Chains A and B, each alone.
Chain A
Amino acid sequence: MMKPLLIIAFVLSSLSGFCQDKYFTKTGKIEFYSKAPLEDIEAKNKTVAALLDTKSGSVQFSVLMKGFEFPKALMQEHFNENYVESNTYPKAEFKGTITNNSSVAYSKDGSYPVKVKGQLTIHGVTKDVETQGTIKTEDGKVQLVSAFNILLSDYKIKIPALVKDKLNNNIKISVDCKLEPLK
């Protein structure tokens, strides 16, 4: 009598091992870049948290603004104090879905073009964002790569009048996160 139950339990437990649908990382990378007459601005952060549910295609990213490192200290201080006001708005977040999730074969190694739609929150302002990216699957890991542009003015990030013509309102954001199965 016990045997069939045990078999069922065993089959179920082994199945759950195969049905891996959540992937995550805490060391994802986000960089941003802006080309401007006064000077190019670039910064990077490699402590991005990312979570992907391969079943539903939902994806989210969260990053601490103070964690962005600039080559120049003064730029980093201005970024935190005057532009993104990171004491008041410490986190930036993206929550969205992969709209063509069904076309990604997560269990097979490969590279898949994807479309992502969701909400991006920076500086306390939430905006709809739509972008394209690539999902690469290899050795049970899932890599999410994307790049898109945002306007500082959309997120109420003010450029001081003095440098208005010299800084670019358009910022390129690059995302590169390698996710592992969430156990």
Chain B
Amino acid sequence: MKRIVLLVVLIAVVAGGWYAYKEYHRTNADLTGRTPDFEMSAGDLISRFEKDTVASKKYIDKVIAVDGKVKSIDKDGNPVVIALGDAGQMSSVQCSMDSTYVKDYQSIREGDALSIKGMCTGGRTEELFGTDVILNRCVLNKK
């Protein structure tokens, strides 16, 4: 009987330790395989954040797939940041790209039509800048 108890305790300790180890070393999840919670155009997402900052909270910490034209791409440094939106406007969706797939971004040019999915970290509106919605850990969305 004592032996069984000891064995159970041992298993529990090992399992707990293994879980703690895994949890401690867990990296941010790759979003490639994730089904997006929302799908919309860059213009739509921007206008939702422009109109109502309270209602826009439902998009924060959610995976959003966004379609749009590349307004600018910043390949200088890490990570690459791609802005989707209307070239004539200040507002944009800023996509901070997942560095794992950095090679996939090299051929992207301004004006390309793209679908990108990423974790929404929020929006910000500045007088001179328009409204920006920011997505993190973004990957190219292959449909």
Q: Which A residues are within 8 Å of any B CB, using their own CB? A: 22, 24, 26-27, 29, 45-47, 49, 51, 62, 64, 66-67, 69-74, 76, 90-91, 176, 178, 182
B122 engages A66 (CB within 8 Å): yes
Minimal beta-carbon separation of B102 from chain A (angstroms): 13
* Bitwise interface map of B from 107 to 134 toward A, beta carbon under 8 Å scored 1, else 0: 0000000000000011010101100101
Residues of A within 8 A of B61 (CB): 66
Any chain A CB within 8 A of the CB of B19? no
User: Max chain A CB contacts within 10 Å: which of B27, B76, B83, B136?
Assistant: B136
A27 engages B74 (CB within 8 Å): yes
Cβ 8 A contact of B137, one of A46, A62, A69: A69
B128 engages A46 (CB within 8 Å): no
A51 engages B129 (CB within 8 Å): yes
B121 engages A66 (CB within 8 Å): yes
Any chain A CB within 8 A of the CB of B52? no
Minimal beta-carbon separation of A59 from chain B (angstroms): 13
B128 engages A182 (CB within 8 Å): yes
Any chain A CB within 8 A of the CB of B81? yes
Complex CA distance for A71 and B137, rounded to whole angstroms: 12
* Bitwise interface map of B from 34 to 78 toward A, beta carbon under 8 Å scored 1, else 0: 000000000000000000000000001100000000000010111
Complex CA distance for A22 and B27, rounded to whole angstroms: 39
